[in-house]
A and B are shown apart, each in its own frame.
Chain A
């Protein structure tokens, strides 16, 4: 093999590795489901704070969470199975760990040591971290979602009277919108990553 051939082969490998590394096959339905879950929970709390009669958290949240979990499992089965990239594994780990920690804290701390508002803040901050980490590595829609959710959370803290409304908006813009963008992308997030 001569130098020109060696250079050609190196460029060939480099092109494949660089392109494939950025592929993320994230199920958009999962983002939409959890985005709607967060938005509904916050919207209900906002309605309660505004004096409307709404169901108690204990009645409303468990079924909604079960629906979101069901959609997550269903969406995981529907992910294209032609390839599972290292970015996919990494993204899965990030979301599962952050979601798991938040769920454990939610189940153990809410109504005992942490008020609902603080718990809402934990969820939004945790999910925005996950979106930012995965988004920075592999997906512009997820990155934009992370920035939007974090921005809405900061805004909600700065304007406490609108905390729940701004949080609900953050969940929609931060998760539902990126989910819709990814769903519209025919290549399941691949092009969106570039």
Chain B
């Protein structure tokens, strides 16, 4: 089981990202319903682990961060889900 994905918020972030090419910080915050600071901290850990790639860009004059799942993140989620399934249905 992946220690990093034992957090429900980080698990939700990875699950959101596996269904999209990319998702913005605002959309993630809305979907998962956590505070900006909380989400930022969790995203920081996922980026540091190489599970998520952060892209900073401007839309008009407003800076926006968007996030993509990396290959490592995808593999981690699939392994983690397989481990959870093995625990539920041994």
Contact = CB atoms under 8 A, between A and B. Distances in A.
A89 B26 contact: no
Interface SS majority for chain A? helix
A23 B20 CA distance: 10
Interface stretch (A2-10, A108-116, A143-151): A2-10
A9 B11 contact: yes
Contact of A81 (B1, B18, B24): B24
Contacts of B4: none
Interface residues of A, number: 21
Given A10-B85, A81-B24, A82-B23, A17 B18 contact: yes
Given A13-B81, A20-B16, A85-B19, A1 B1 contact: yes
Interface in B1-19: 1, 6, 8, 11-12, 15-16, 18-19
20 contacts: A1-B1, A3-B87, A6-B84, A6-B87, A6-B88, A10-B81, A12-B8, A13-B12, A13-B81, A16-B31, A20-B19, A20-B20, A21-B19, A23-B19, A82-B24, A82-B27, A82-B30, A83-B20, A83-B24, A84-B20
Interface of B: 1, 6, 8, 11-12, 15-16, 18-24, 26-27, 30-31, 59, 64, 77, 81, 84-85, 87-88
The 6 lowest CB-CB distance pairs between A and B, nearest first, are A82-B27, A20-B19, A16-B15, A6-B87, A6-B84, A84-B21
